[in-house]
Protein backbone atom coordinates (compact mmCIF):
# COMPACT_ATOMS: atom_id res chain seq x y z
CA UNK A 1 0.00 0.00 0.00
CA UNK A 2 1.13 3.55 -0.30
CA UNK A 3 2.14 3.53 3.34
CA UNK A 4 4.25 0.48 2.73
CA UNK A 5 6.85 1.99 0.48
CA UNK A 6 10.40 3.17 0.66
CA UNK A 7 10.00 6.79 -0.32
CA UNK A 8 12.53 8.75 1.65
CA UNK A 9 10.34 11.50 3.04
CA UNK A 10 6.84 12.88 2.85
CA UNK A 11 5.98 16.51 2.34
CA UNK A 12 8.20 18.42 -0.02
CA UNK A 13 9.81 15.36 -1.53
CA UNK A 14 6.50 13.66 -2.23
CA UNK A 15 4.99 16.83 -3.61
CA UNK A 16 7.97 17.50 -5.81
CA UNK A 17 7.81 13.97 -7.11
CA UNK A 18 4.43 14.29 -8.74
CA UNK A 19 4.62 14.25 -12.51
CA UNK A 20 8.22 15.35 -12.94
CA UNK A 21 9.75 12.53 -14.96
CA UNK A 22 10.43 14.18 -18.29
CA UNK A 23 10.95 11.26 -20.63
CA UNK A 24 9.39 10.23 -23.92
CA UNK A 25 5.94 8.77 -23.35
CA UNK A 26 6.51 5.05 -23.28
CA UNK A 27 2.98 3.91 -23.95
CA UNK A 28 3.62 3.44 -27.63
CA UNK A 29 6.77 1.38 -27.13
CA UNK A 30 6.16 -2.18 -26.11
CA UNK A 31 8.20 -5.32 -25.98
CA UNK A 32 6.95 -8.64 -24.77
CA UNK A 33 8.44 -11.90 -23.61
CA UNK A 34 7.91 -13.45 -27.01
CA UNK A 35 7.11 -12.27 -30.49
CA UNK A 36 3.56 -13.57 -30.41
CA UNK A 37 2.66 -11.27 -27.53
CA UNK A 38 4.33 -8.08 -28.73
CA UNK A 39 2.12 -5.05 -28.26
CA UNK A 40 2.49 -2.04 -30.52
CA UNK A 41 -0.90 -0.52 -31.21
CA UNK A 42 -3.61 -2.40 -29.35
CA UNK A 43 -6.99 -3.14 -30.85
CA UNK A 44 -9.71 -0.98 -29.31
CA UNK A 45 -10.84 -2.83 -26.18
CA UNK A 46 -14.12 -4.64 -25.89
CA UNK A 47 -15.88 -3.80 -22.61
CA UNK A 48 -15.95 -6.64 -20.11
CA UNK A 49 -19.19 -7.62 -18.46
CA UNK A 50 -18.88 -6.35 -14.89
CA UNK A 51 -22.55 -6.05 -14.02
CA UNK A 52 -22.77 -9.59 -12.68
CA UNK A 53 -19.27 -9.81 -11.22
CA UNK A 54 -19.08 -11.07 -7.64
CA UNK A 55 -16.21 -10.76 -5.15
CA UNK A 56 -13.43 -13.09 -6.17
CA UNK A 57 -14.68 -13.42 -9.73
CA UNK A 58 -11.91 -13.17 -12.32
CA UNK A 59 -12.43 -12.25 -15.95
CA UNK A 60 -11.26 -14.89 -18.40
CA UNK A 61 -8.19 -13.58 -20.19
CA UNK A 62 -9.61 -13.64 -23.69
CA UNK A 63 -7.93 -11.72 -26.52
CA UNK A 64 -10.43 -8.91 -25.99
CA UNK A 65 -9.59 -8.67 -22.28
CA UNK A 66 -5.88 -8.80 -23.08
CA UNK A 67 -6.32 -5.90 -25.50
CA UNK A 68 -8.13 -4.00 -22.78
CA UNK A 69 -5.27 -4.65 -20.37
CA UNK A 70 -2.71 -3.55 -22.96
CA UNK A 71 -4.53 -0.27 -23.44
CA UNK A 72 -4.96 0.33 -19.71
CA UNK A 73 -1.29 -0.30 -18.91
CA UNK A 74 -0.15 1.93 -21.75
CA UNK A 75 -2.48 4.69 -20.63
CA UNK A 76 -0.96 4.67 -17.15
CA UNK A 77 2.51 4.73 -18.71
CA UNK A 78 1.67 7.77 -20.80
CA UNK A 79 -0.01 9.69 -18.00
CA UNK A 80 2.60 8.87 -15.34
CA UNK A 81 5.60 9.03 -17.72
CA UNK A 82 6.83 5.57 -16.75
CA UNK A 83 9.87 4.46 -18.82
CA UNK A 84 9.25 0.73 -18.57
CA UNK A 85 6.98 -1.77 -16.86
CA UNK A 86 6.53 -5.53 -16.70
CA UNK A 87 3.16 -7.05 -15.82
CA UNK A 88 2.44 -10.66 -14.96
CA UNK A 89 -1.03 -11.99 -14.23
CA UNK A 90 -1.66 -15.70 -13.64
CA UNK A 91 -4.69 -17.80 -12.74
CA UNK A 92 -5.17 -21.58 -12.69
CA UNK A 93 -8.20 -21.59 -14.99
CA UNK A 94 -8.69 -18.15 -16.56
CA UNK A 95 -5.43 -17.90 -18.48
CA UNK A 96 -2.35 -15.75 -18.00
CA UNK A 97 -1.12 -12.37 -19.20
CA UNK A 98 2.57 -11.49 -19.31
CA UNK A 99 3.74 -8.30 -21.01
CA UNK A 100 6.64 -5.86 -20.99
CA UNK A 101 6.24 -2.30 -22.16
CA UNK A 102 8.68 0.53 -22.72
CA UNK A 103 12.39 0.65 -22.02
CA UNK A 104 14.69 -0.57 -19.28
CA UNK A 105 17.30 2.07 -20.11
CA UNK A 106 16.49 5.53 -21.43
CA UNK A 107 20.01 5.99 -22.80
CA UNK A 108 20.34 2.77 -24.79
CA UNK A 109 16.60 2.22 -25.38
CA UNK A 110 17.05 -1.36 -24.22
CA UNK A 111 13.51 -2.75 -23.99
CA UNK A 112 12.03 -4.05 -20.79
CA UNK A 113 12.20 -7.84 -20.54
CA UNK A 114 10.68 -10.49 -18.31
CA UNK A 115 14.06 -11.76 -17.07
CA UNK A 116 15.35 -8.47 -15.65
CA UNK A 117 16.44 -8.23 -12.04
CA UNK A 118 14.64 -5.40 -10.24
CA UNK A 119 14.91 -3.78 -6.83
CA UNK A 120 11.71 -4.58 -4.92
CA UNK A 121 11.85 -2.12 -2.00
CA UNK A 122 9.34 -2.76 0.74
CA UNK A 123 8.44 -6.19 -0.54
CA UNK A 124 11.55 -7.04 1.50
CA UNK A 125 9.36 -6.59 4.56
CA UNK A 126 7.40 -9.72 3.70
CA UNK A 127 10.63 -11.75 3.79
CA UNK A 128 11.93 -10.19 7.01
CA UNK A 129 8.64 -10.76 8.83
CA UNK A 130 8.39 -14.29 7.46
CA UNK A 131 11.82 -14.98 8.95
CA UNK A 132 10.63 -13.52 12.24
CA UNK A 133 7.48 -15.66 12.23
CA UNK A 134 9.51 -18.80 11.62
CA UNK A 135 11.42 -17.96 14.80
CA UNK A 136 8.09 -17.46 16.56
CA UNK A 137 7.10 -20.97 15.49
CA UNK A 138 10.40 -22.25 16.86
CA UNK A 139 9.71 -20.62 20.23
CA UNK A 140 12.71 -18.31 19.94
CA UNK A 141 10.65 -15.11 19.70
CA UNK A 142 7.31 -14.15 21.23
CA UNK A 143 5.02 -11.86 19.26
CA UNK A 144 3.86 -10.16 22.41
CA UNK A 145 7.33 -9.79 23.92
CA UNK A 146 8.60 -6.21 24.24
CA UNK A 147 11.33 -5.29 21.79
CA UNK A 148 13.46 -4.31 24.78
CA UNK A 149 13.82 -8.02 25.59
CA UNK A 150 15.92 -8.39 22.45
CA UNK A 151 17.30 -4.95 21.55
CA UNK A 152 18.41 -2.30 24.01
CA UNK A 153 18.07 1.47 23.72
CA UNK A 154 14.71 1.54 21.93
CA UNK A 155 12.41 4.39 23.04
CA UNK A 156 9.41 2.81 24.75
CA UNK A 157 11.22 -0.49 24.32
CA UNK A 158 9.61 -1.93 27.44
CA UNK A 159 6.15 -1.30 25.98
CA UNK A 160 6.42 -1.79 22.19
CA UNK A 161 5.85 -5.43 21.27
CA UNK A 162 7.23 -7.45 18.38
CA UNK A 163 3.67 -7.70 17.05
CA UNK A 164 3.22 -3.93 17.10
CA UNK A 165 6.44 -3.46 15.16
CA UNK A 166 5.30 -5.91 12.47
CA UNK A 167 1.84 -4.31 12.32
CA UNK A 168 3.21 -0.75 12.01
CA UNK A 169 1.69 0.30 15.31
CA UNK A 170 4.82 1.04 17.34
CA UNK A 171 4.79 4.84 17.36
CA UNK A 172 8.47 5.01 16.42
CA UNK A 173 9.55 7.76 14.04
CA UNK A 174 10.37 6.65 10.50
CA UNK A 175 14.12 7.21 10.08
CA UNK A 176 13.79 7.64 6.32
CA UNK A 177 11.78 10.80 6.91
CA UNK A 178 14.57 12.44 8.91
CA UNK A 179 16.07 15.41 7.00
CA UNK A 180 19.58 14.51 8.12
CA UNK A 181 19.19 11.01 6.77
CA UNK A 182 17.87 12.29 3.44
CA UNK A 183 20.85 14.63 3.11
CA UNK A 184 23.32 11.89 3.99
CA UNK A 185 21.86 9.44 1.49
CA UNK A 186 21.43 11.80 -1.44
CA UNK A 187 24.85 13.41 -1.00
CA UNK A 188 26.54 10.02 -1.37
CA UNK A 189 24.09 7.37 -2.63
CA UNK A 190 26.79 4.69 -2.85
CA UNK A 191 27.70 4.96 0.84
CA UNK A 192 26.74 2.08 3.15
CA UNK A 193 24.56 2.47 6.22
CA UNK A 194 24.50 0.20 9.25
CA UNK A 195 21.27 -0.72 11.04
CA UNK A 196 22.52 1.15 14.08
CA UNK A 197 23.02 4.32 12.05
CA UNK A 198 19.49 4.05 10.71
CA UNK A 199 18.02 3.59 14.18
CA UNK A 200 19.94 6.62 15.43
CA UNK A 201 18.10 8.82 12.90
CA UNK A 202 14.80 7.57 14.31
CA UNK A 203 15.58 7.54 18.00
CA UNK A 204 16.51 11.22 18.15
CA UNK A 205 12.83 11.96 17.48
CA UNK A 206 10.13 11.71 20.15
CA UNK A 207 7.85 8.69 20.21
CA UNK A 208 4.81 9.64 18.14
CA UNK A 209 2.05 7.84 20.06
CA UNK A 210 1.44 5.09 22.59
CA UNK A 211 2.14 1.68 21.05
CA UNK A 212 -0.86 -0.08 19.60
CA UNK A 213 -3.07 3.00 19.46
CA UNK A 214 -2.48 4.04 15.84
CA UNK A 215 -1.22 2.78 12.48
CA UNK A 216 1.85 4.58 11.15
CA UNK A 217 4.11 3.09 8.52
CA UNK A 218 7.70 3.23 9.73
CA UNK A 219 10.76 1.57 8.25
CA UNK A 220 12.32 1.77 11.72
CA UNK A 221 10.10 -1.12 12.79
CA UNK A 222 11.64 -3.45 10.23
CA UNK A 223 15.21 -2.53 11.07
CA UNK A 224 14.49 -3.64 14.62
CA UNK A 225 12.84 -6.87 13.47
CA UNK A 226 15.80 -7.62 11.22
CA UNK A 227 18.11 -7.29 14.22
CA UNK A 228 15.87 -9.63 16.20
CA UNK A 229 16.09 -12.24 13.43
CA UNK A 230 19.87 -11.96 13.40
CA UNK A 231 20.17 -12.21 17.17
CA UNK A 232 17.83 -15.14 17.64
CA UNK A 233 18.90 -17.11 14.56
CA UNK A 234 22.61 -16.44 14.93
CA UNK A 235 22.86 -15.68 11.21
CA UNK A 236 23.05 -12.56 9.06
CA UNK A 237 19.56 -11.63 7.93
CA UNK A 238 20.27 -12.25 4.25
CA UNK A 239 21.76 -15.66 4.98
CA UNK A 240 18.78 -16.70 7.08
CA UNK A 241 16.32 -15.57 4.41
CA UNK A 242 18.21 -17.41 1.67
CA UNK A 243 18.51 -20.67 3.59
CA UNK A 244 15.06 -20.79 5.16
CA UNK A 245 12.81 -18.98 2.69
CA UNK A 246 14.29 -18.47 -0.77
CA UNK A 247 15.90 -21.89 -1.27
CA UNK A 248 12.89 -23.91 -0.03
CA UNK A 249 10.65 -21.78 -2.24
CA UNK A 250 12.86 -22.36 -5.28
CA UNK A 251 13.44 -18.61 -5.65
CA UNK A 252 16.95 -18.71 -7.06
CA UNK A 253 16.79 -15.26 -8.65
CA UNK A 254 16.03 -13.37 -5.43
CA UNK A 255 18.77 -11.99 -3.24
CA UNK A 256 19.49 -9.79 -0.25
CA UNK A 257 22.47 -7.66 -1.36
CA UNK A 258 25.13 -6.63 1.11
CA UNK A 259 26.10 -3.56 -0.94
CA UNK A 260 25.13 -2.06 -4.28
CA UNK A 261 25.61 -5.27 -6.26
CA UNK A 262 22.92 -5.72 -8.90
CA UNK A 263 22.93 -8.84 -11.11
CA UNK A 264 22.70 -8.53 -14.87
CA UNK A 265 20.48 -8.07 -16.69
CA UNK A 266 18.73 -5.32 -14.76
CA UNK A 267 16.77 -2.19 -15.55
CA UNK A 268 18.07 1.29 -14.85
CA UNK A 269 15.96 3.14 -12.28
CA UNK A 270 14.91 6.80 -12.40
CA UNK A 271 14.08 9.05 -9.44
CA UNK A 272 13.87 12.68 -8.46
CA UNK A 273 14.52 11.91 -4.81
CA UNK A 274 17.94 13.44 -5.21
CA UNK A 275 20.02 16.19 -3.63
CA UNK A 276 19.10 18.61 -6.43
CA UNK A 277 15.63 17.34 -7.22
CA UNK A 278 16.77 16.50 -10.73
CA UNK A 279 16.18 13.05 -12.15
CA UNK A 280 19.03 10.58 -11.68
CA UNK A 281 19.68 6.93 -12.51
CA UNK A 282 19.82 4.94 -9.29
CA UNK A 283 20.93 1.48 -10.39
CA UNK A 284 24.27 1.94 -8.63
CA UNK A 285 22.81 3.29 -5.38
CA UNK A 286 23.52 1.24 -2.26
CA UNK A 287 20.24 -0.05 -0.79
CA UNK A 288 21.78 -0.78 2.61
CA UNK A 289 19.91 2.29 3.84
CA UNK A 290 16.71 0.22 3.52
CA UNK A 291 18.19 -3.10 4.78
CA UNK A 292 15.47 -5.28 6.36
CA UNK A 293 12.84 -2.79 5.22
CA UNK A 294 13.66 -2.65 1.52
CA UNK A 295 17.02 -3.84 0.14
CA UNK A 296 16.09 -6.99 -1.77
CA UNK A 297 16.23 -7.77 -5.50
CA UNK A 298 14.05 -10.21 -7.45
CA UNK A 299 12.56 -11.10 -10.83
CA UNK A 300 9.12 -11.52 -12.30
CA UNK A 301 9.15 -15.31 -12.14
CA UNK A 302 10.38 -15.45 -8.56
CA UNK A 303 7.74 -12.97 -7.43
CA UNK A 304 5.14 -15.07 -9.21
CA UNK A 305 6.20 -17.85 -6.84
CA UNK A 306 6.29 -15.58 -3.81
CA UNK A 307 2.77 -14.14 -4.10
CA UNK A 308 0.86 -17.33 -3.21
CA UNK A 309 3.65 -18.56 -0.93
CA UNK A 310 3.51 -15.56 1.39
CA UNK A 311 -0.28 -15.26 1.17
CA UNK A 312 -0.85 -18.88 2.20
CA UNK A 313 2.24 -19.54 4.35
CA UNK A 314 2.94 -22.65 2.26
CA UNK A 315 5.94 -23.43 0.06
CA UNK A 316 5.29 -24.55 -3.55
CA UNK A 317 6.00 -28.17 -2.58
CA UNK A 318 3.12 -28.08 -0.10
CA UNK A 319 5.12 -27.88 3.14
CA UNK A 320 4.38 -25.12 5.59
CA UNK A 321 6.61 -22.04 5.51
CA UNK A 322 5.11 -20.93 8.78
CA UNK A 323 2.50 -22.74 10.85
CA UNK A 324 -1.18 -22.39 10.01
CA UNK A 325 -1.84 -20.78 13.39
CA UNK A 326 0.89 -18.20 12.93
CA UNK A 327 -0.23 -17.53 9.35
CA UNK A 328 -3.74 -16.87 10.63
CA UNK A 329 -2.33 -14.24 12.98
CA UNK A 330 -0.30 -12.78 10.14
CA UNK A 331 -3.41 -12.36 8.01
CA UNK A 332 -5.38 -10.62 10.74
CA UNK A 333 -5.29 -7.22 9.07
CA UNK A 334 -6.87 -4.51 11.22
CA UNK A 335 -7.78 -1.33 9.34
CA UNK A 336 -4.92 1.00 8.56
CA UNK A 337 -5.88 4.59 7.79
CA UNK A 338 -8.29 4.29 4.88
CA UNK A 339 -11.27 2.12 3.91
CA UNK A 340 -10.80 -1.25 2.29
CA UNK A 341 -7.19 -1.71 3.35
CA UNK A 342 -5.74 -3.44 6.39
CA UNK A 343 -2.20 -4.22 7.50
CA UNK A 344 -1.23 -7.37 9.34
CA UNK A 345 2.16 -8.81 10.22
CA UNK A 346 4.29 -7.42 7.39
CA UNK A 347 1.55 -7.91 4.82
CA UNK A 348 -1.51 -6.01 3.61
CA UNK A 349 -5.00 -6.84 2.41
CA UNK A 350 -6.39 -4.30 -0.05
CA UNK A 351 -9.88 -5.21 -1.25
CA UNK A 352 -9.07 -8.91 -0.94
CA UNK A 353 -5.64 -8.74 -2.61
CA UNK A 354 -2.97 -9.93 -0.16
CA UNK A 355 0.70 -9.01 -0.47
CA UNK A 356 2.92 -5.96 -0.47
CA UNK A 357 4.30 -3.27 -2.70
CA UNK A 358 7.68 -1.65 -2.78
CA UNK A 359 9.13 1.69 -3.71
CA UNK A 360 12.64 3.04 -3.36
CA UNK A 361 14.46 5.57 -5.51
CA UNK A 362 14.19 4.45 -9.11
CA UNK A 363 12.09 1.31 -8.72
CA UNK A 364 8.60 0.18 -7.73
CA UNK A 365 6.95 -3.20 -7.45
CA UNK A 366 3.65 -4.80 -6.55
CA UNK A 367 3.17 -8.49 -5.71
CA UNK A 368 -0.32 -9.51 -4.68
CA UNK A 369 -2.52 -12.62 -4.53
CA UNK A 370 -6.30 -12.96 -4.57
CA UNK A 371 -7.08 -16.20 -2.71
CA UNK A 372 -10.70 -16.41 -3.85
CA UNK A 373 -9.55 -16.66 -7.50
CA UNK A 374 -6.06 -18.08 -6.82
CA UNK A 375 -4.83 -15.19 -8.94
CA UNK A 376 -1.37 -13.62 -8.83
CA UNK A 377 -0.46 -10.13 -10.04
CA UNK A 378 3.11 -8.84 -10.26
CA UNK A 379 4.07 -5.38 -11.53
CA UNK A 380 7.68 -4.17 -11.84
CA UNK A 381 8.73 -0.72 -13.06
CA UNK A 382 11.76 1.51 -13.22
CA UNK A 383 10.66 4.76 -11.64
CA UNK A 384 9.22 5.81 -8.30
CA UNK A 385 8.18 9.31 -9.35
CA UNK A 386 4.60 9.89 -8.30
CA UNK A 387 1.81 11.09 -10.56
CA UNK A 388 -0.93 13.33 -9.18
CA UNK A 389 0.00 12.19 -5.67
CA UNK A 390 -0.16 8.47 -6.45
CA UNK A 391 2.63 5.99 -6.87
CA UNK A 392 2.70 4.48 -10.35
CA UNK A 393 2.66 0.89 -9.05
CA UNK A 394 -0.68 1.65 -7.40
CA UNK A 395 -2.00 3.19 -10.62
CA UNK A 396 -1.07 0.04 -12.54
CA UNK A 397 -2.59 -2.21 -9.91
CA UNK A 398 -5.83 -0.26 -9.96
CA UNK A 399 -6.07 -0.13 -13.75
CA UNK A 400 -5.44 -3.86 -14.12
CA UNK A 401 -7.76 -5.03 -11.34
CA UNK A 402 -10.60 -2.79 -12.54
CA UNK A 403 -10.64 -4.96 -15.64
CA UNK A 404 -10.01 -8.46 -14.29
CA UNK A 405 -11.54 -8.27 -10.79
CA UNK A 406 -13.99 -5.36 -10.85
CA UNK A 407 -15.32 -6.21 -7.38
CA UNK A 408 -11.80 -6.50 -5.94
CA UNK A 409 -10.11 -3.35 -7.21
CA UNK A 410 -6.65 -2.64 -5.80
CA UNK A 411 -7.05 1.05 -5.03
CA UNK A 412 -5.51 3.44 -2.54
CA UNK A 413 -6.26 7.14 -2.05
CA UNK A 414 -3.74 9.42 -3.74
CA UNK A 415 -3.13 11.44 -0.59
CA UNK A 416 -1.56 8.39 1.00
CA UNK A 417 1.22 8.16 -1.56
CA UNK A 418 4.72 9.20 -0.67
CA UNK A 419 5.63 7.23 2.41
pLDDT in tens, 99-124: 999 999 999 999 999 999 999 999 99
Domain with 272 in it: what CATH number?
3.40.710.10
Helix axes 124-137, 219-233, angle to 10 degrees: 40
The four Cα atoms 280, 283, 289, 295 give a dihedral, to 10 degrees, of 140
pLDDT of residue 7: 56
Q: What percent of the chain lies above the pLDDT cut of 90?
A: 83
From the list 85, 71, 66, 64, the residue with the least C-alpha distance to 21 is 85
Number of domains into which the chain is organized = 1
Stretch 53-58: mean pLDDT: 76
CA distance 226 to 128: 6
Per residue in 337-392, pLDDT tens? 677 899 999 999 999 999 999 999 999 999 999 999 999 999 999 999 999 999 99
pLDDT of residue 23: 30
Q: Give the three-state DSSP class for 177.
A: helix
- The more confident residue out of 31 and 370 is 370
| Model confidence, pTM | 0.89
DSSP label at 74? H
Q: What is the mean pLDDT of residues 313-322?
A: 98
Report residue 25's pLDDT band, with 50, 70 and 90 as the boundaries: very low
Coil, helix or strand for 390? strand
- Note down the domain range covering 247: 2-416
User: How much of the chain, in percent, has pLDDT values that exceed 70?
Assistant: 85
Best CA proximity match to 179, nearest among 195, 154, 206, 202: 202
How far, CA to CA in Å, does 391 sit from each of 214, 355, 398?
A: 23, 16, 11
Band of the pLDDT at 87, cuts 50, 70, 90? very high
Quote the pLDDT of residue 334.
86
Contact 400, 411 (CB under 8 A): no
Amino acid sequence: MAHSTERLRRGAVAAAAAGMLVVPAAGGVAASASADTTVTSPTPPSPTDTATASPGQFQTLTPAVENELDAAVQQVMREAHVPGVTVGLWTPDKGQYVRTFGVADLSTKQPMATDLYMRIGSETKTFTVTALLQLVDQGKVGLDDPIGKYIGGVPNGDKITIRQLAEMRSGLFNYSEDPGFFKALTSNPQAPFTPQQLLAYSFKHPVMFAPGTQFFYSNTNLILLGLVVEKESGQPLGTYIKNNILTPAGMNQTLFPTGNEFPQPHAQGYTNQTATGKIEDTASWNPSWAWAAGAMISTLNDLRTWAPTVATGTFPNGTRMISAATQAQRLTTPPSTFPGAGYGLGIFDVQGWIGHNGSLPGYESLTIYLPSAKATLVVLLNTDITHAGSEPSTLFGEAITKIVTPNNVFALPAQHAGR
